[in-house]
Amino acid sequence: MRKKSPHDANEWFTATQAAKLSNLSLAMLNYLCREKVVEPTCNCSRGRGTQRHYSFGDVVALRLIAMLSKMGISVGRLKKAMRQLRLLHPQITLTSLPASHVVTDGKDIYLCKPGEPLERVLDGQFTFAFVIELSRLQQEVAKKIRTTSATKSASLAVA
């Protein structure tokens, strides 16, 4: 007889599901757990033969690791920062994020909130830096082009 999971199936993901959702192989997910880079936040029993259950926030953190790894950043270098990210900011949920952007120098991870200084995940230290959202600049330039074109067209029509 199969032991029932202590969780609502909609709130927790198995290791296989978490690997698929985060674009990691199951072997890499197991490595990250073994090395304590990202451990499941589930408080269920642990040990050989028991399934690990990952939260939505865990899967987002795993997806971040997958993206950073794809960019060539060593997981080992980010180990402390990733563990701290999950400890300091457990509010990564379907409807909540601790910041709008993640910034890294390849060693430390910083959280960026609009209009605020960068917060280093490792110790919560704030850092002064300039982070500019390119999509906003793109929209501003496109709007200016449309406005300029409309103004030119209007002045040509009058002349």
Q: Are 119 and 99 in contact (CB under 8 A)?
A: yes
pLDDT digit string, tens, across residues 104-156: 877 777 877 777 777 777 777 776 555 556 676 778 788 888 887 777 676 66
Whole-number Å distance between alpha carbons of 28 and 85: 19
Please give the domain boundaries of the chain with CATH numbers for all domains: 13-158 (1.10.1660.10)
User: Counting beta carbons within 10 angstroms of the beta carbon of residue 30, is it exposed (0 to 12), middle (13 to 18) or buried (19 or more)?
Assistant: middle
Direct distance between the N- and C-terminal alpha carbons of the chain, in angstroms, rounded to an integer: 87
Angle between helices 26-34 and 56-70 (to 10 degrees): 110
**Radius of gyration (C-alpha) of the chain in whole angstroms:** 22
Please provide residue 102's backbone torsions phi and psi, each rounded to the nearest 5 degrees: -115, 135
Q: Is 114 helix (H, G, I), strand (E, B) or coil?
A: coil
* pLDDT tens, position by position, 104-114: 877 777 877 77
Cα dihedral 76, 78, 80, 85 sign: negative
Specify the residue for token string 């028991």. Answer: 50
**Across the chain, what does the average pLDDT equal?**
76
Convert the pLDDT of each residue in 9-34 to its tens digit: 567 888 999 999 999 999 999 999 88
What pTM, to 2 d.p., does this model score? 0.66
